[in-house]
Structures are given as structure tokens and as C-alpha cells.
Amino acid sequence: MEDNKMKAEEPVLKMMKRWTVGRWVSLAVMAYTYLVGELSHFLLGIVSRPMSQELHYGDKACLPNPQATHQSSDCRTLNFSSCYDLLEGDNVTMCVWDYSGLGMEYQVLAGPAFIFVFTTAGIIIGIISDKFNRKVVVMVCCAVLTLATGLTGAASSYWHLVILRMLMGAGESSFAPACSSMISDMFPESLRALALGIFNWGIYLGYGLSYAVGNFITAADIGGLGWRWSYIVTGMMGVVATLLLFILVTEPPRGGQLRVKLGSEEADGKNPGTNQQQNETEFSNEDSKDITSSPNSQSREDLITDGPKLVEGLKSLLTPPVLMLAFASCLRHTAGFSWAYNTQLYFLTYYPDFNLGLWVTGVSIIGGTLGVAIGGLVSDKLVKRIGMRARLYVLAGSQLVATPFAAGVLFLPPPGAFFSLLGAYLFAEMWFGVLFAVLLELVSESVQSVGLAIFLFIMNNVGGNLPVLVDPLTNLTSYRTALLIMYPGGYLASAVMFFLTSFFVR
């Protein structure tokens, strides 16, 4: 009898092993795809100054002369008439009047040109993802992103950049909603926040690598193309991501995870072998389908009778806890984007003689990846004891602790600023995977992709566009003060709102 039991269980165990390995491989590929998307997204902020000087957009200012031996921060205080007054040996001017990479045209490129299409396309693609194969949707979008990124290396005017930034936004728009939905179906609740956190490592790896790619490849000036090779290299990485999606990622069954019910009689204290259900294998919501297939969760008739997905997605979000969560997320996203779009330019403005090198790359990757993983682990542990409110406590507490570290970044000179930045990332970036875990529990399974897309539409339109306020705030106060309001100020405001949201969740 035992031999028969082992033989009956063997194919099930093999299938479980294959599925367990496959889902982690798929997760790694999706995280890499997200990395490429975020690298393409944030590369602009690193190479904006050489781009603006070649393509002539944005504000002009008195800048350190790249030909001078010493890069002086005194240049930023000079106007046009006195910009060339500072001299060093051999009558070389220490300052030049040139495009700074800042200004409203840059803020439009960084924010609205990308975000508007990113969020609008995200809703449309979210609806498509809920009806059709999510893997194919992500793969096609990755190809669009790759094409737009590579072509940016050939841009010859500002308007080329605007159009290509819009295409980048359309390409990346599927990554978060469709991949998060697939991950939700691949992993049980006890591992879901951790898996989403690993997926969101792509954000920090991509953002961190943008500094290495943007600075070192631009400085290498391969073939005299400077910043253009940064986009070409990123486009090559996108080709790899598209191929990996095609070869390695498997569309999971929708609406549940694979469960195996083995030895249930023993678990219940019954005599083994007395019931044929003892060796029953269950596939949640997909009992008759192979786990390696790519099934759609609904038949054609279901899709017709279910009603418009967009309306269903909106209804799932129009609840007090989700609305409060959206408001808090908008504040947090504004803080993150305000810093991300201005990091390179901030240090170029106030500390031009300091070589960023791998500082920001290392700090953002280490702090971001550790933060998002720790956030997922902590919230997964606490949610078993406290419930969903635990995740909101993690969100509120992490942003509150990150606030003084973020302020330290703007007051401390480097390298001290980077150690403070490490602390800010370590705590602040605990939020993203936890946020998606909360959303996946609040939004109906049947409209998860479109629901997440609508939520991201709101969050990214506010958080991605409000950083344009840095420019007028700079004109009213100073660049540093403007960032102080938008960056640590945004963290603090979001912490308060995440905590208040916990009162709306049962």
C-alpha cells in the first residue's frame, strides 16, 4: 500500500518541483525586465546636462568649466555678466555660461511626457491583461520600450525626446500591473509580499544602474557619441529582457496558487488508505489544467457577460481604505520622484568637484533592495498576528523613520550625504512591495490588473507630475529648499496618511 502511495505521489511531487523552480525563474526575469524599464526611465536625469547642451533645451546658467582643473561651486552664484570673471592658470575661465540640464523643459520630459502616457496606457493594457495572456502583453510592451530607448540615442531635437519619452512610458506601463497580477497567482499569501518585493528590486537596481551607465558610458565618449551610447546600451539590455520573457516566463493559472493535498487523512487523524481522497491533487480554480500552460481565467462568454472591466476596476477602488491609500501613495511617490529626477543635478549644482562615481549606484541598490525585501518580510510576519493593518503600520513607520535621513542628504556634504541617503533608502523603500500586497488584498481578483493600473494611473499622475513644482519653488526660495519641501516633506506627509488609512481597514 505504501509503495502504491509513493508511486501515486511521485508525478505530483515532480510537477510541484518543476512549478516551484519555474515560478522563481519567472520572477527573476520579470524583475530584470522591470530593471531595464526603470533604467530607461531614470537615465534622463543623469545625462540631462550633456543632452541639453547638445540639443539646446531648458535653462542656461553659470556652470563649472569642464576644461578647468578645479570644478568650483562658486559658479552657481554668478550671473551672465560675471560668469567668465573667475580665472585659473593660463587664463582658463573656471566657469562657462551654458545649458544646465534643468528648467521647465527638463521637468516636462522627466515627468508629464513620460507619466501621462505611462498611466493612460497602463489602464488600457490593464484591461487587456485581465482578458488575455499577460506574458505576451508584457513581452510586446518590453519590445516597444526597447525600441524607444535605442532610438533616443539617435535623437536630434527636443521634440524627438518628447515623443520617445512617451513611447517609453507606454512600453513600461504594463510591467507593474500585469507582472504583479502574475506574481499574485504564482505565490501564496505567506510569500506574496516578499515575491512582490523581489520584483520591485528592479526599480532600485534600474535606478541605481542609471548612474553608472549615465556617468561612466557618457564619460567614455565612445565614437564621440557621449550620452547617446548610454541609451544604446540600455536598448541592448531591453532586447535581452524581451528574449528572456519569451523563453523562460510561463503564464500562471489565474485566481489562485497550486495546492497539493497529500496525506490529508493522516493530518485529520484518520486511518491512511481508507479513503481515495488521501492522494488528491488540487489546482486552485484550475483543477483540470496543466500548470505549465497559459490559460485564460474566463471563457469568451464570461468576458462578454462580465461587463466593462474599466467600470469594475473603478468600483473596486472607490472604497474608503483604497482612496486613503491612494492619497498617501501619491504623497510618497511625489517625494521619491522629486529626489530621483534631481539627484544628479543637485550634486552637480552644490558639489561639482565631487565625483559621484558609484556612490549613488551602490547606495540606491543596497538600500533599496534591502529595504523592499525587509518591508515584505516584516509585513508578512506581522500580518499573521495583526491582520492587514500590520502592512499599513509598516508603511507609516518606514516613511517616518526615513524622513530625518532624507533631510540629512540635503544638509550634509558628501560623502556624509550618501551615508544618510543609504538610511533613507533602507527605510523609505520598504513601501512598494507592501503597498502592492495591500492592494491585492483589497481589489477583486477578477479585475486585479485593471484595478492596479487605475491605481497606478492616479498615483503616477500625481506623484510623477508634482515634481515640476521644484522649478517654481526654486525660483521662490532655492534649489535645496525646494527639494527639502518635496523630498523629506513628502515622506513625512505620507507617513501620517498611511497611519490614518489603517483606521479604515478591518
pLDDT band, very low/low/confident/very high, at 255 (cuts 50, 70, 90)? low
Top mean pLDDT of 3-17, 226-240, 341-355, 387-401 is at 226-240
- Per-residue pLDDT, averaged over 390-404, amounts to 90
**Do 409 and 423 fall into the same domain?**
yes
Q: Which residues contact 224 (CB under 8 A, 6 or more apart)?
A: none
Domain for residue 5, yes or no?
no
Lowest mean pLDDT among 138-147, 294-303, 477-486: 294-303
Question: Dihedral sign, CA of 77, 83, 84, 90?
Answer: positive
DSSP string, 431-464: HHHHHHHHHHHHS-GGGHHHHHHHHHHHHHHHHH
**Domains in the chain, number:** 2
- Per-residue pLDDT, averaged over 127-139, amounts to 86
Residue 192's pLDDT is 77
**Do 73 and 163 fall into the same domain?**
no
Is residue 415's pLDDT more than 80? Answer: yes
Is residue 304's pLDDT more than 70? Answer: no
- Per-residue pLDDT, averaged over 204-223, amounts to 87
Domain for residue 401, yes or no?
yes
pLDDT band, very low/low/confident/very high, at 32 (cuts 50, 70, 90)? very high
**Do 34 and 92 fall into the same domain?**
no
Residue 161's pLDDT is 94
Residue 61's pLDDT is 87
Question: Dihedral sign, CA of 26, 29, 35, 40?
Answer: negative
- Per-residue pLDDT, averaged over 447-468, amounts to 79
Is residue 411's pLDDT more than 50? Answer: yes
Residues of the domain holding 77: 60-98
Residue 64's pLDDT is 85
Instruction: Categorise residue 16: left if φ over 0, alpha if ψ from -120 to 50, beta otherwise.
Output: alpha
pLDDT higher at 14 or 362: 362
Top mean pLDDT of 34-48, 336-350, 465-479 is at 34-48
Q: Which residues contact 169 (CB under 8 A, 6 or more apart)?
A: 113, 114, 115, 116, 117, 118, 119, 121
Percent of residues in the chain assigned helix, strand, coil, to nearest 5: 75, 5, 20
Identify the three-state secondary structure at position 93.
strand
Residue 312's pLDDT is 67
pLDDT band, very low/low/confident/very high, at 455 (cuts 50, 70, 90)? confident
pLDDT tens string 218-243: 888 888 888 999 999 999 999 999 99
pLDDT band, very low/low/confident/very high, at 196 (cuts 50, 70, 90)? confident
Burial label, 430 (beta-carbon count in 10 A; 0-12, 13-18, 19+): buried
The x, y and z cell numbers of residue 333, run together, are 511617490
Q: For the chain, what percent of residues have pLDDT higher than 90?
A: 28
Instruction: Categorise residue 44: left if φ over 0, alpha if ψ from -120 to 50, beta otherwise.
Output: alpha
Domain for residue 196, yes or no?
yes
pLDDT higher at 390 or 466: 466
**Do 93 and 122 fall into the same domain?**
no
CATH code at 312? Answer: 1.20.1250.20
pLDDT higher at 435 or 235: 235
pLDDT band, very low/low/confident/very high, at 17 (cuts 50, 70, 90)? low
Domain for residue 282, yes or no?
no
Residue 164's pLDDT is 95
Lowest mean pLDDT among 19-28, 189-198, 230-239, 479-488: 189-198
Is residue 289's pLDDT more than 50? Answer: no
Domain for residue 301, yes or no?
no
Is residue 266's pLDDT more than 90? Answer: no
Q: How far apart are CA 274 and CA 276, in angstroms?
A: 7
pLDDT band, very low/low/confident/very high, at 489 (cuts 50, 70, 90)? very high
**Do 88 and 219 fall into the same domain?**
no
**Do 71 and 125 fall into the same domain?**
no
Residue 232's pLDDT is 94
Is residue 281's pLDDT more than 80? Answer: no
Domain for residue 211, yes or no?
yes
**Do 88 and 41 fall into the same domain?**
no
Q: Which residues contact 398 (CB under 8 A, 6 or more apart)?
A: 371, 375, 427, 428, 430, 431, 495
Is residue 331's pLDDT more than 80? Answer: yes
**Do 110 and 172 fall into the same domain?**
yes
**Do 435 and 467 fall into the same domain?**
yes
Domain for residue 262, yes or no?
no
Question: Of 44, 71, 98, which residue sits at a domain end?
Answer: 98
- Per-residue pLDDT, averaged over 409-419, amounts to 92
Domain for residue 315, yes or no?
yes
**Do 336 and 427 fall into the same domain?**
yes
Question: Of 71, 98, 125, which residue sits at a domain end?
Answer: 98
Question: Of 69, 98, 127, which residue sits at a domain end?
Answer: 98
DSSP string, 120-186: HHHHHHHHHHHHS-HHHHHHHHHHHHHHHHHHHTT--SHHHHHHHHHHHHHHHTTHHHHHHHHHHHH
Residue 272 carries which DSSP code? Answer: T
**Do 441 and 458 fall into the same domain?**
yes
- Per-residue pLDDT, averaged over 413-427, amounts to 91
- Per-residue pLDDT, averaged over 343-348, amounts to 87
**Do 51 and 135 fall into the same domain?**
yes
